[in-house]
Structure 1
């Protein structure tokens, strides 16, 4: 009879390795990402409505303005005490305008410039004015309409 090359030690070692591999294969891991933390609740409005305010009137310079990209708004003050609002989305290719400087709302993507008075195109490539948006001035607060 031919002699078998397998020894008892080889069989036991191989069986233990096979059992360990089988147990590892049966183990499951929860690969689902944990949910993001809940957002902080909005601050309660005070008597002046400051929680809803876009800005204070003093924050908007005369002849200039401020961009509120999260609200898709640009608020300007063409002359003292007159506040206007326009969409912050450039009518050229949909970029969000980046700033208000030198009396113009400026799209930093392609260089379009719009008038702070009425959103009209001052310099292209945009050909269409920024659409006007509603705001309300309540005392020193500028609120979305």
Structure 2
């Protein structure tokens, strides 16, 4: 009877894993909104030393720029005020795709975040983008560890 119970439990666990994998793949490959973007692996890039991202002139006032390799987005909500946020959407871990009209936009499912504080402006994401420590050094934007 014990081996039958184990076989039953193993079968249920295996089926649940397959179902969960299928659901995750279905959600992650959705192109609702016409996007073909796919989720990225969870953040694996860890900054261990200051990294120069670019020039302040590259970040438009009221907009921003995505640095995908470093998984950070830098915005300039008002002239001379620079903000850094994770470029990984909190919904399904896609890399955000654009910064426009005062929002950071994810191409996978349409989540939008504020360029001022990273707060969710439009779901399905329910959590804002975590802040990243960026500083200005002369005319350069620097990501701090």
Instruction: Answer whether TM exceeds 0.5 for this pair.
Output: yes
Alpha-carbon distance, 1:136 to partner: 1.3
Corresponding residue number in structure 2 for 1:15:
none
The higher radius of gyration belongs to: 1
What RMSD in Å do the two structures reach over aligned CA positions? Answer: 1.2
Corresponding residue number in structure 2 for 1:71:
70
Corresponding residue number in structure 1 for 2:26:
none
Corresponding residue number in structure 2 for 1:3:
none
Which runs of at least 4 in structure 1 moved beyond 2 Å after TM superposition?
A: none
**1-structure distance, mates of 2:52, 2:98:** 20
**1-structure distance, mates of 2:135, 2:119:** 21
Matched, 1:135 2:95: no
Matched, 1:89 2:88: yes
**2-structure distance, mates of 1:144, 1:121:** 23
Matches within 5 A, 1:26-37: none
Q: Deviations over 1:59-112 (max 9, x none)?
A: 000010000110010000000000000000000010000010111000011000
Structure with greater helix percent: 2
Flag structure 2 segments of 5+ consecutive residues without an equivalent: 1-50
Corresponding residue number in structure 2 for 1:108:
107
Alpha-carbon distance, 1:134 to partner: 0.4
**TM (normalized to structure 1)?**
0.64
Alpha-carbon distance, 1:53 to partner: 1.8
**2-structure distance, mates of 1:130, 1:82:** 18
Name the SS of the counterpart of 2:136 in structure 1: strand
**TM (normalized to structure 2)?**
0.64
Query: How many residues in Structure 1 have an aligned counterpart in Structure 2?
Result: 95
Flag structure 1 segments of 5+ consecutive residues without an equivalent: 1-51
Alpha-carbon distance, 1:124 to partner: 0.4
Matched, 1:53 2:27: no
Name the SS of the counterpart of 1:84 in structure 2: strand
